[in-house]
Structure 1
Amino acid sequence: MKFLWKAMCAAAMLGASIFSAHAEEKTITLGTMTWEDLTPITGITKKVLEDSGYTVKVVPFTEWGIAYAALTKGDIQLLASQIDYAAQDYWDKNKNRLEKISPVSHGLYQAIAVPNYVTIDSIDQLNENADKFGGKIVGIEPGSGLMRDADSAVKAYDLKLQLLEGSTAAMTAALKSAVDRNEWVAVTVWEPSWMMQKYPLKFLKDPKGVFPPPQGYYWVGKKGFSADNPHAREVVASVYVPLKDITAINGAVSDGKTMDDAVADWVASNADLIKRWENIKSE
């Protein structure tokens, strides 16, 4: 009788396990910031998930706050984010309702940069050359981690230059115009960026350590995602994209390719690696 009871319990547990595996949701919704470092990560992960049998929806965002709100509400299931510094405030505010899935890249650095021909090398030299820079530092979108850090730098170094809010496109146009004329310009920029490849740029030294060190990228999800989607979690955790590859993808986009085509080319040239990522079987 005892043996029969144990056998029944074992069968019940096996049945529950099989049911759980079959019950895993086959549609995954990824959130992505519409920025050149995060879009390739999302595109590559989407491809790997699709090849592993999932239907993938991608929802774009332009502000961290809105993206994290969508994640905590469950409107999206996963979001690629730099949680150590760039989006740390949003992660800290919501982390009790979220979970870190896996690292997906590393090396993001963002700060104030100038063309190589500019004869200063440190942020604390900006004030004495403010006129040469037109009294301004050309920034990007308000609300980004880079602009938050740049604003902190303006205060920490008591800079007399105005930090201009705007857009990445406007900053890029100002940079190109200045370089074409061999003029001095200070911009907020980041690595990985095709701009660091195309233009002769150097990051200004930061002796006060205002800008954070190179940062990691992580997939983060709504709490419970890994338990509810164990196979999808393993697929996502297999993906890792080196920073130089992200930069190369964006370089291809800046040369005229669409992001989808640039990601597809990267996937094709890394077919063997992709196959190893996808070689994960459902339990």
Structure 2
Amino acid sequence: MMLKTLAATMGALSFASVAAAADLGAVDKPIKLAVNEWTGQHITTHIAANMLKEAGYQVEFVAAGMMNQFQPLADGDIHATLEIWSSNVSDEYAKKVSEGTVVELGGLELDAKEGIAYPAHVAELCPGLPAWEALKACAPLFATAETLPAGRLVDYPADWGTPGADRMTGLELPFKAVPAGSEAALIVELKAASERKTPLLVTFWQPHWAMSAYDVQFVDLPAGEDACFNDASWGPNPNAVNDCDFSPSRIFKAGWSGLAETWPAAAEILTNYTLAVEDQQPMMGAVDVDGGKVEEVVAAWMAENEAKWRPVVDAATK
């Protein structure tokens, strides 16, 4: 229906279509979008792709690790990446921006938070939670054969960085951070702990459907201020940095420096594209919990929510 509407509009306004086509740029060349390791990013990227297709572009998806995608982005082998988390981005990103080979495309405007977390039932096993100090005495409850005598923290996958391990060191908590194999592995841990009512500490984030499905709560850590990450004397541990919560997360988009010149309207669409957490999170559940395909879940959302994305496409192409 949406494609028919677009075709009818273009057919009726042939002169306007020619003008729009000039603004579209190199429509014969596909725009390559990075696909990273987590479901939310897949949804974000597929919505952007469909918007670009509605505008008349060809789109290709390129599998890319979140931490190592910026060199191919700078080289023009990838043209845009749509969900970068400020609290978990490599130094390579800032380097490429300073070189001028990568440009920021504005905020995605998701309401995001990262932190050290646990299923709600764990508070009964470790009295004093959510205060972080409670973990000092409770650490043995979280221990496994792999971590004894320390407790186990299930951290992000290794190629996402080591933010959980950094907090354990900074706050001098007797926990060993063990990287999860994937986002799916983190969910398996949450599901198993919730069903068995066993202790579990994880590095986790929102938006994510599992936050509500497993009643996940964040540990209260000292506020994540800039001084915490640069000044060891700041915070409860006078001998280390990272003795605090994560920095408030900003989620944003970035593109190849040649994006706007090659595809002017596409650059405008991607810059103005935003996604609300109340829209993304249910789609994540539809994929990860209900078994839906990303393409089908996104297509259904777009059909039902055209007023949320169509104006961005129209503004760039008319």
Q: TM-score, normalised by structure 2?
A: 0.76
Runs ≥4 in structure 1, deviation > 6 angstroms? none
The answer (yes or no) to whether the contact 2:121–2:194 under 8 Å persists in 1 is no
Sequence identity (%):
23
Kept after mapping to 2: 8 A contact 1:99/1:224: no
Secondary structure, aligned partner of 2:35: strand
Partner of 1:127: 136
Change (3 A) 1:244 1:88: farther
Give the letter aligned to residue 208 of structure 2.
S
How far the C-alpha of 1:195 sits from its partner, in A, is 0.8
Partner of 1:113: 117
Give the Cα separation in 2 of the matches to 1:280 and 1:87.
Answer: 31
Structure 1 distance, partners of 2:249, 2:111, is: 5
- Identify the match of residue 203 of structure 1 among 218, 225, 230: 218
- Write out aligned runs for 1:28-39 (5 A): 28-39=31-42
Contact 1:83 1:91 in 2 (8 A): no
Change (3 A) 1:33 1:238: same
> Using the alignment, how far apart are the partners of 1:274 and 1:281 within structure 2?
12
Structure 2 stretches lacking a partner, 5+ long: 1-18, 124-128, 144-150, 225-243
**Is the CA contact (8 Å cut-off) linking 1:32 and 1:58 kept in structure 2?**
yes
Residue 307 of structure 2 corresponds to residue 256 of structure 1? no
Q: Does 1:233 align with 2:267?
A: yes
Cα separation, partners in 2 of 1:171 and 1:54, compared to 1, 3 Å = same
Residue in 1 that maps onto 2:176: 162
- Whether the 8 Å contact between 1:124 and 1:157 is mirrored in structure 2 is no
1:1-283 equivalence runs, <5 A = 21=22, 24-26=25-27, 27-65=30-68, 67-82=69-84, 84-95=86-97, 96=99, 97-119=101-123, 120-134=129-143, 135-145=151-161, 148-167=162-181, 168-207=183-222, 209=224, 210-253=244-287, 254-280=289-315, 282=317
**Structure 1 contact 72–94 (Cα < 8 Å) conserved:** yes
Q: Which moved more, 1:194-203 or 1:120-129?
A: 120-129
Tell me, in whole angstroms, the C-alpha distance in 1 between the residues paired with 2:75 and 2:197: 49
| Pairwise CA distance, 1:245 | 1.4
Q: Which amino acid aligns with 1:94?
A: K
SS in 2 for 1:163: strand
SS class of match (1:244): helix
Distance 1:92 1:140 in 2: 22
State how far apart, in whole Å, the 2-side matches of 1:216 and 1:25 are.
31
1:282: Cα distance to partner?
4.3
SS at match of 2:315: coil
Which 5+ residue runs of structure 1 have no aligned equivalent? 1-17
Q: How many residues align?
A: 262
1:41·1:104 contact (CA, 8 Å) conserved in 2?
no
Q: Distance in 1 between matches of 2:245 and 2:59?
A: 35
| TM-score (norm: length of structure 1) | 0.85
Secondary structure, aligned partner of 1:85? helix
1:45-66 superposed Cα distances (whole Å, 9 cap, x missing partner) = 000000100000011223412x
* Distance in 2 between residues matched to 1:63 and 1:277, nearest whole Å: 26
Check the 8 A contact 2:154/2:203 in 1, yes or no: yes
The answer to which of 223-232 and 50-59 deviates more is 223-232
> Deviations along 1:51-93, whole A, 9 cap, x unmatched?
100000011223412x111101111111124263321523212
